[in-house]
Amino acid sequence: MSGFDEVLESGRLADIPKTKAAYEQLLKFHWDYYSELEYQRKKVYDSLKASLRDRAKPFEFALWQRAVKYKYALRPLSTTGSVADPGGRFNIGAIDPTRYPVFPALYVASEKGAALAEILGRTTESTSLTAEQIALTRPDSITIVSLSGKLEAVLDVRDENNLAQFVSKIKGFRLSPSLVAKGKKLGFNMSLVKTAQELADKHLRNPAWRQSPMIFDVPANCQIFGRIACDAQIDGILYDSVLTGKTALCIYHQNFRNSTSYVELDDPTPAGVIPRRLDATNCGGA
């Protein structure tokens, strides 16, 4: 354990100022890390968007599942919950809206167990239960709805070939020597993405992605990737759930404008449920 770790983990009252200073140092380091890479991303941002848009294809799904907290039961297509801090895997929530623009997403899964696990099976120390079983042990009130849709442009990140062109644009990124030295001192791995497999395995499928926004106040790499995809006017990202391995879909309904893309509930709805369909006519109001 380094002296820096010892300061963070110390329980002595006299060490509180040191702990605060150490944490502020960590926040500054992660902000600088984000800023250096963001500057380089902005220089090639249009080509990054194009590299993803070029690989997007139409996608239709039927009888997929969406789980929402009970308070959204009358608005199951609402994306309000997705913008709460820290957001979702492929969208940025209210981490720090002055620095990172917030944008919503609608998350659905190919089957009910996966949808339930995604919303409830996130935190556990058990290794003997599946994500679905863990979710069933939670007492939270949940609404699950069936829905279908047709999207004009979806990026399938399960296929690493769809990431190759994007990686070719970022693999030349570099960090300043001073930041690298600071990272080594703090014990952080400073390696940058060089291959599509690395991007997929270490970042887009990272099970601990929440650490960056919740501890260090910067978006996770998968969230940054989602922002680029959304800005590229892609309708969604198709991926495998880290919890269950089942197929899931992150939908950017705000990009339905001027398109035929839509998502709609499959079943008759109780009185008061609004809306039951998202398309070009109402895609900005979910």
CA dist., res. 87 & res. 94, Å (int): 7
Q: What is the DSSP string of 143-158?
A: EEEEEEEEEEEEEETT
Beta partners for residue 156, in sequence order: 238
Which is nearest to 104 in space by CA: 121, 120, 80, 128?
Answer: 80
Q: pLDDT tens digits for the chain (286 residues)? A: 333 444 444 455 455 566 788 889 999 999 999 999 999 999 999 999 999 999 999 999 999 999 999 999 999 999 999 999 999 999 999 999 999 999 999 999 999 989 988 888 654 444 566 666 666 667 778 899 999 999 999 999 999 999 999 999 999 999 999 999 999 999 887 889 999 999 999 999 999 999 999 999 999 999 999 999 999 999 999 999 998 999 999 999 999 999 999 999 999 998 888 899 999 999 876 6
Tokens of 281: 């006519």
Handedness of CA 6, 22, 202, 192 (dihedral sign): negative
CA dist., res. 33 & res. 26, Å (int): 10
Specify the residue for token string 């190919």.
110
Range list of H helices, 141-194: 164-170, 177-186
Which is nearest to 204 in space by CA: 169, 248, 154, 157?
Answer: 157
Residues contacting 108, CB < 8 A, separation 6+: 61, 64, 65, 66, 115, 147, 248, 249, 251, 263
In the prediction, which pLDDT does 18 show? 64
Q: Please tell me the total number of residues recorded for the chain in this structure.
A: 286
Instruction: Give yes or no for a contact between 252 and 229, defined as CB atoms under 8 angstroms apart.
Output: yes
Which is nearest to 86 in space by CA: 248, 226, 286?
Answer: 226
- Give the predicted TM-score (pTM) of the model: 0.89
In the prediction, which pLDDT does 7 show? 41
In the prediction, which pLDDT does 132 show? 61
CA dist., res. 156 & res. 220, Å (int): 19
In the prediction, which pLDDT does 4 show? 41
